[in-house]
Amino acid sequence: MAFGRTGHLSTRVIFGAAGLGRASQETADRYLELVASYGVNHIDTAADYGDSELRLAPWLAKHRSEVFLATKTGQRDAEGARRSLERSLERLGVDSVDLIQLHNLVEDQEWEEALSPGGALEALLAARQEGLTRFVGVTGHGLRIPAMHLRSLERYDFDSVLFPYNFALLSNPAYRGDTEALLGICAERNVAVQTIKSLARRRWPADHAGVRHSWYQPLPPGEELARAVRFVLGNPQVFLNSSSDMSLLDLTLQAASNPEPAPSQAEMQADLERMDGAPLFDGDALERI
C-alpha cells in the first residue's frame, strides 16, 4: 500500500525495531530474517531505542535498498536534532534514511520549541535538502496525541504521523473523535498514518514480577491477538507497527497474512471483556515505545 505521498509501497505491517534495543546481534539477525521471510519492506526505529540502530546495521549493510528505513529524534532544538540524526546514520551504517520523525511530540513547550525557528524541524528540513532524509514525520503517545498531531499539521505539512490505535482506546469517545478528525486530514493531504499499541491488553498489574518485553501487558497468543491485528488492518488507511515484544512478531505477521475480514465491534468488545482489557492511558500518561 502506498505510504502516503512518499511513493513507497509499504507492507501493511511495519517492523517496529524497538524490541532490538536489548537484543543480542544473533537474536536481532534471527528476527530480521523472519521479517524478510514475510516480505516486510519497512523498518521503524529510533535514536532512543537502546542499541536498536546498531543491531540493524549489519542487516542493512546487505539489504538497505530493499526497505523503507525510518528513525526518530527526541531532540527539540536544531543543533541537537542534527547531532541526533548524524549519530543515527552512523549507528545504522547508512548515508541516509527515508524518514526522520520528531519523537513523541506532545508537551506544549517542547512542541513550540521543536516547530519554531531554531527548532528540531528546521534542522530536519535542512537535512532533507542535503539528502540525509527524504521525508519528515511526527510521532506521539497518550490521549492528547491525535489532537496534537492535528495541531502539528496546521504548523507544518508532515509526511507521516504515528499514534496509538486499538479497540480499547477507540472506545473512548473523545479519543475516537480526535482520531477520526486526524484521519480525515491525513486522507485529504495524503499523509501516511502509522499505528502502535495494536496488541495492548492493559497496563501491567502493580504486582507483576515477571519479564516485561514492552511497557504494557500485551494480549496473549491466540484468537484475541489475531483479531486485534485484523481490527487495525481493517482500516485501509493505516499501517500497523509491530510490538516491541518480539515474541509476538511471528504471530502478528501470521495474523496480518490472514485473508479473513476484520472482526466486528461485538467481537472486539467480547474480547476486551474476556481478556479484562483496559485503555492504556489513565488521564494522559505518556510513553515513548
- The pLDDT assigned to 65 comes to 97
Determine what percent of the chain is predicted with pLDDT higher than 70: 95
Contact criterion met (CB below 8 Å) for 96 and 133: yes
pTM above 0.85, yes or no: yes
In sequence order, which residues have a C-beta less than 8 Å from that of residue 32 and are 6 or more positions away?
Answer: 15, 56, 59
β-pair partners for 9: 2
d(CA 36, CA 19): 16
Q: Which three cell numbers stand for residue 107?
A: 508537551
pLDDT, tens only, 259-273: 999 999 999 999 999
Residue whose C-alpha cell reads 517542547 in the numeric block: 110
Helix count and strand count (H, E) for the chain? 11, 10
pLDDT, tens only, 183-194: 999 999 999 999
- The pLDDT assigned to 213 comes to 74
pLDDT, tens only, 72-118: 999 999 999 999 999 999 999 999 999 999 999 999 999 999 999 99
- The pLDDT assigned to 135 comes to 98
Residue 247 is classified by DSSP as G
Q: How confident is the model at residue 282 (pLDDT cuts 50, 70, 90)?
A: low
- The pLDDT assigned to 288 comes to 43
User: Going from the N-terminus, what domains does the chain have, and what CATH number goes with each?
Assistant: 13-274 (3.20.20.100)
Nearest 5°: phi and psi at 21?
A: -60, -30
For the chain, how far is it from start to end, CA to CA, in angstroms?
A: 24
Q: Mark out the alpha helices in 93-158 (DSSP H runs).
A: 108-115, 120-129, 145-155
